[in-house]
Amino acid sequence: GDWLYSPEWWGSQSESEFNGNTVFRSVSDKGNGVISVHAYPSSRPNKVHWPETEKWLQKRYGEIYPGYEHSGSFKILGYQWRVLRFNDNTRQSTVKIMAAYRDTEPGSIFIMQQAQCLAIPYVKSMVSLGLSTIASSKYDLMAAVHGKKRMHILCIGHGGGSLPLFLASKIQGAEIHVVEIDPIVISASVQAMGFPGFSVMTPSGERALLEPDTINEVMWKGIHERLYLYETDAEKYVVENNNLYDIIFVDAYDGDDIFPNKLWDPHSPFLNSLSDQLHPEHGTVVVNLHADSDISNPSETVSYFYQRLLPMGKYVSRVCKAYKDVLIRNKVTRGGKFGCGLGFAISVPWVCNTSLVVSRGFGLTSGFVNRDMVMNTLVSSSVKVDHMLNLPFSCLEYINIKRDCTLI
């Protein structure tokens, strides 16, 4: 997922991003237009490393079906980047998949999303900020990482599923509910982007598959049991449920690349119900926001450095204020306490996105809070998170004292 390799799926001056092969295409009736998945060759991992993964798959098979581990071998066909698009234009998400088969069933090919790979910088930013913030809130993240306590997570918006899959694979105690309004997006993620199909839920709250098939069990045992993917409207879900979440991730843009107003209107049932479902002591919400300025390409007339100095656009500021006001300011939580905490936003490197964070338990004891205090606390916590989770990227890349941090 190193951004250095982004031209493989993002496109470059010498290679168009639309040169990929279309592996999924369907029309949405939820406002997302044509939903498609495009495949691009991946240069990593190198072929010399494939036998290691084949041995891992074979070992997993033997653990699940003792005595049958020598009945056939796993063979890797290769790795690809797969990009989910709305209307053949808006790039919604990017994942890396592995394609393989068993030599006893050469006609049966399965794909597995690479859970450790977060390709897009804003997803890494959401993970880095969310986990570093909750680690600063007297939440025992270490116990959750090792499965000694449950960490209840809600993801609003699914896309290819890279965020919930990454969290489930890295945090053994994570129980993750994912809400996606569009059934075509869910189909695309399972069929073409290697997301575990056993996670899909029915409207009645049961698993769509009564039990996982052999290959799903080999790839995802210990992970897919903690993923719950619901096809429903986000507002309907939070209004009708009475769950309590430690951390909530919101990344929900439609086919026109618009963040729906009902998901940030301070008077909406969504935000007020979300407030009731956020843990009163350490509850943390992370929201992905697209920039709303006219500057969209750091390589053009305005330098990257200067862009960091630009103020947040009016749209982003309004969303930030709505989340802060409803989730914290003058709000009595389900625990009967008045809301407390803080909100801040940090620009995402390399892309025009902003990560908004609202926390009810950020670890600052002083009544006076400034930007440097927030950044110093985040940097300290991010080092601990890197160590705890053995992340394939450094949180410090996305939480840096030199970068933009706007207190709300």
For residue 175, what are the β-bridge partners? 152
- 101 and 140 co-located in one domain: no
Strand pairing class (151-156; 247-250): parallel
> Which of 126, 150, 125, 115 is closest to 284 using CA atoms?
126
Q: Could you tell me if residue 279 is inside a domain? A: yes
Q: How far apart are CA 126 and CA 355, in angstroms?
A: 6
Q: Could you tell me if residue 224 is inside a domain? A: no
Across 12-27, average pLDDT = 82
- Domain total for the chain? 2
* pLDDT surpasses 60 at 380: yes
> Which of 392, 22, 406, 64 is closest to 214 using CA atoms?
64
Tokens describing residue 405: 């941090």
Any idea what the Cα angle at residue 274 is, between residues 388 and 232, rounded to 5°?
95
* pLDDT surpasses 90 at 142: yes
Tens-place pLDDT, residues 86-141: 987 788 999 999 999 999 887 889 999 999 999 999 999 999 999 999 999 989 99
- 73 and 166 co-located in one domain: no
Q: Could you tell me if residue 312 is inside a domain? A: yes
Across 372-391, average pLDDT = 92
pLDDT of residue 107: 82
For residue 39, what are the β-bridge partners? 21, 82
Beta strands, E only, 224-267? 227-231, 247-250
Distances (CA, A) of 302 to 174, 287, 297, 306, 406: 42, 26, 8, 7, 21
Q: How far apart are CA 347 and CA 405, in angstroms?
A: 7
Q: Single out the residue in 116, 139, 166 at which a domain terminates.
A: 116
pLDDT of residue 302: 37
Q: Could you tell me if residue 315 is inside a domain? A: yes
Distances (CA, A) of 314 to 292, 300, 327, 406: 8, 23, 20, 13
Amino acid at 365: T
* pLDDT surpasses 80 at 74: yes
Across 226-244, average pLDDT = 96
Q: How confident is the model at residue 193 (pLDDT cuts 50, 70, 90)?
A: very high
Between 56 and 329, name the one with better pLDDT.
Answer: 56
Q: How far apart are CA 187 and CA 392, in angstroms?
A: 28
> Which of 342, 394, 325 is closest to 133 using CA atoms?
342
What is the per-residue DSSP string for 178-223?
EEES-HHHHHHHHHTS---GGGBB-TTSSBSSSS--HHHHHHHTTT
Q: How confident is the model at residue 397 (pLDDT cuts 50, 70, 90)?
A: confident
Q: Report residue 150: phi and psi, to 5°.
A: -80, 140
Q: How far apart are CA 380 and CA 40, in angstroms?
A: 38
Tokens describing residue 45: 């991992």
- 86 and 48 co-located in one domain: yes
Q: Single out the residue in 116, 138, 170 at which a domain terminates.
A: 116
Identify the weakest region by mean pLDDT among 76-80, 196-200, 294-298, 320-324. 294-298
- 98 and 134 co-located in one domain: no
> Which of 168, 198, 173, 169 is closest to 186 using CA atoms?
198
- 131 and 250 co-located in one domain: yes
pLDDT of residue 258: 84
Across 18-31, average pLDDT = 90
Stretch (H or E) spanning 125: helix 121-135
Tokens describing residue 122: 């804003």
- 65 and 152 co-located in one domain: no
- 251 and 324 co-located in one domain: yes
* pLDDT surpasses 50 at 165: yes
- 78 and 50 co-located in one domain: yes
Amino acid at 123: V
- 82 and 175 co-located in one domain: no
Tens-place pLDDT, residues 289-321: 986 654 344 444 434 433 443 345 667 888 999
Q: How far apart are CA 315 and CA 319, in angstroms?
A: 6
Distances (CA, A) of 335 to 276, 325, 326, 364: 9, 18, 16, 21
Q: Could you tell me if residue 193 is inside a domain? A: no
pLDDT of residue 407: 87
Q: Could you tell me if residue 210 is inside a domain? A: no
Coil/strand/helix, residue 172: coil
Domain harbouring 257, CATH code = 3.40.50.150
pLDDT of residue 316: 83
- Could you tell me if 252 and 235 are in contact, meaning their C-beta atoms sit under 8 angstroms apart? no
pLDDT of residue 401: 53
- Could you tell me if 162 and 95 are in contact, meaning their C-beta atoms sit under 8 angstroms apart? yes
- 157 and 66 co-located in one domain: no
Q: Could you tell me if residue 190 is inside a domain? A: no
Q: Single out the residue in 61, 94, 116 at which a domain terminates.
A: 116
What is the per-residue DSSP string for 384-400?
HHHHHHT-SS-GGGTS-
Between 52 and 307, name the one with better pLDDT.
Answer: 52
* Domain boundaries, position 74: 3-7+18-116
Q: How many residues does the chain have?
A: 408
Q: What percent of the chain has pLDDT over 70?
A: 87
Q: Could you tell me if residue 191 is inside a domain? A: no
- Could you tell me if 153 and 121 are in contact, meaning their C-beta atoms sit under 8 angstroms apart? no
- 47 and 173 co-located in one domain: no
Q: What percent of the chain has pLDDT over 90?
A: 67
Tokens describing residue 390: 């053995």
- 315 and 347 co-located in one domain: yes
